[in-house]
Structure 1
């Protein structure tokens, strides 16, 4: 029997009490069951996992979260001496029916609210009718302010909404939602996902990630005076995938804290083999976490996927400067195989691979190319 996190470990959420860093993160097994684990650190970089993980697991079969909790928002309420968590619940491998609430005295033993979920998906026709994940909460001692990722259908075209609550249980969605949306033709045209909001010196700083249809995913930030009206930073994105290593494909789910005169960020990293892990970055340059952009030079590459998004058929065009063995696979976003398109030798030149996508459910997929020792992945959307 495999580990509860054998498929992935991602979505870090970190709190610091002045002595110890605590990280709660999401793990998933090969049956797509999710759980939340705990790790602890003295420096925020070197972590020790709690031996009793996961600390929060799936609900009983038939319950709203029987595939498990995901993407938690965590705060510590000093007045009540409680850790408070809001988490997305799933009852199918790729579906959500809102966000639930749980609390704990020690961050290990959690009690789920018996009337979960506390933030439900929208009504039919609303922008968040398919998905509502409350991913970050700011509490000022009177009002809980939350920001959540939502989308209308299984195309995963995500926007960001705002909500508030007096008790952390009964939430009110802002009538003018969504408060931040993707921009067609830009780095975030395929959707944006909120991860963390920091309130500092009278401003809210939102850190979020977004992707384009070419397959890139990067991290950005925006500012707001009221938490509702947001101004994205003009030079977004601020943090990119590396040119090699553990985060050379996607960077996402930024969890940012400002402490000890420094911005600290923990994030999910995905490499070209779709191995998910977690990374750390920091900056004293307010609020730039990272300012470099990697320009890759590929001798063998996926030139295009057309059309993208597609409804029935798509053509994948590859360019090779040398002959070699080509393996082309369509993957789900968790890295599992949907279909192998080709596995054969090609001569140097430009080649077209035709793909019938009509049997796929609407959503986001990955087009994964392996050419000799070279690997490349691009995103494809079915609608």
Structure 2
């Protein structure tokens, strides 16, 4: 990489010294039958027609559905509409639910607030879908959705998946997860995490693929490009890439999981293929009682008028009065919400 230790320390200091709010930026409704009755997750923030939007997923005990929230100040958010809903009895591969990961953007620069880019007169979203009912149940595959609707309310889904785990190597052979979609040097690039086992605890690592048209993808032969590292805070998961460019290098605001806590990580690259993950968490889990006591992960980082906003999924043990709760893999009830940390931008 050619980075000196001082450079790494400077990166950690610049990106990791943000003030976390002790109040959620956005929570699930807790209403029975609602898409977000059990919680919300996976923030993706952008600006469209002079409004701030947060695409996110909600979980209702059956599967994920994708929705939009809106904000005037980037700190408090209100639900607007569901854009990828469940399709029961449709016979489709994605009938259980659809988790939106990324909408194609007009710039990769961290200094440019994300705005959507049209291709062939359409906005394009990549999403993943699990085959079975329950929390991320079964091996997910990826699909494309598109819209010409400037309100972003009405989306259409491509009939078939565009990327599946069955075609992958051993490290990804049991299912795909969230991805990041970039356009760079005339190609589309997808960084995605995947799992190599079906029985818990499995490992999740991150790989890369590229395409000329968004529909036909070629995997990098030396995947995974962001592997797990034994003894590190990302020994079990190195997951959920969120990639931006700072003018000198690519930055990945992903997360690591060591079997106990999921924590935000920072990895750097000169070419999207060779990555170095910094040794310490960029966004460590919080103290007892804090919103992110268990996990601080699934990041989205944006800059607006000199202020950096680091959105992430915060998790702590559920307690009486919380609007939502979800049981994940270990049988523990969690309160999952979308939180934000802020600070002066670089």
Smaller-chain TM-score range?
Answer: 0.7 to 0.9
8 Å CA contact 2:244, 2:250 repeated in 1: yes
| Structure 1 residue 58: Cα displacement | 2.5
Q: Which residue of the partner structure matches residue 265 of structure 1?
A: 310
8 Å CA contact 2:262, 2:295 repeated in 1: yes
Q: Which residue of the partner structure matches residue 110 of structure 2?
A: none
Q: 1:204 and 1:81 mapped to 2: Cα distance? A: 28
SS at match of 2:56: strand
* 2:146 paired with 1:103: yes
Q: Which residue of the partner structure matches residue 329 of structure 2?
A: none
Q: Which moved more, 1:39-48 or 1:124-133?
A: 124-133
Instruction: Give the TM-score, by structure 2 length.
Output: 0.75
Q: How does 1:223-238 map to 2 (within 5 A)?
A: 223-234=268-279, 236-238=280-282
Q: Which moved more, 1:116-125 or 1:166-175?
A: 116-125
Deviation string for 1:308-354 (max 9, x for gaps)?
xxxxxxxxxxxxxxxxxxxxxxxxxxxxxxxxxxxxxxxxxxxxxxx
Q: Which residue of the partner structure matches residue 206 of structure 1?
A: 252
8 Å CA contact 1:119, 1:134 repeated in 2: no
Q: 1:281 and 1:255 mapped to 2: Cα distance? A: 11
| Structure 1 residue 272: Cα displacement | 1.4
Q: 2:232 and 2:178 mapped to 1: Cα distance? A: 25
Q: Quick check: which one's helix share is greater?
A: 2
Deviation string for 1:91-121 (max 9, x for gaps)?
113113311100123321101012x211111
* 2:84 paired with 1:56: yes
8 Å CA contact 1:86, 1:134 repeated in 2: no
SS at match of 1:68: coil
| Structure 1 residue 124: Cα displacement | 7.4
Q: How does 1:169-208 map to 2 (within 5 A)?
A: 169-208=215-254
Q: Which moved more, 1:122-131 or 1:8-17?
A: 122-131
8 Å CA contact 1:198, 1:205 repeated in 2: yes
Q: Which residue of the partner structure matches residue 91 of structure 1?
A: 131
Structure 2 residue runs without a partner (length 5+): 1-31, 105-115, 319-333
In structure 2, do the counterparts of structure 1 residues 266 and 229 end up closer, same or farther at CA, with 3 Å as the change threshold? same
SS at match of 2:242: strand
SS at match of 1:127: helix
In structure 2, do the counterparts of structure 1 residues 22 and 250 end up closer, same or farther at CA, with 3 Å as the change threshold? same
Q: Which residue of the partner structure matches residue 132 of structure 1?
A: 176
In structure 2, do the counterparts of structure 1 residues 184 and 4 end up closer, same or farther at CA, with 3 Å as the change threshold? same
SS at match of 1:248: coil
* 2:319 paired with 1:276: no
Deviation string for 1:190-248 (max 9, x for gaps)?
212123100231421111111113x12210111111101001124x2011222223222
Q: 2:258 and 2:217 mapped to 1: Cα distance? A: 32
Deviation string for 1:74-100 (max 9, x for gaps)?
222146553321011111131133111
Structure 1 residue runs without a partner (length 5+): 287-383
| Structure 1 residue 60: Cα displacement | 4.1
* 2:47 paired with 1:3: no
Higher relative contact order (CA 8 A, sep 6+): 2
Q: Which residue of the partner structure matches residue 163 of structure 1?
A: 209
| Structure 1 residue 284: Cα displacement | 3.2
Equivalent pairs, count: 280
Larger of the two Rg values belongs to structure: 1
Q: 2:119 and 2:237 mapped to 1: Cα distance? A: 37
Q: 2:123 and 2:302 mapped to 1: Cα distance? A: 17
Structure 1 residue ranges, 4+ long, deviating more than 4 angstroms after superposition: 78-81
* 2:44 paired with 1:13: yes
| Structure 1 residue 20: Cα displacement | 1.5
SS at match of 2:191: strand
Say what the alpha-carbon RMSD is for the aligned residues: 2.1
Q: Pick one of 51, 63, 73 that aligns with 1:33.
A: 63
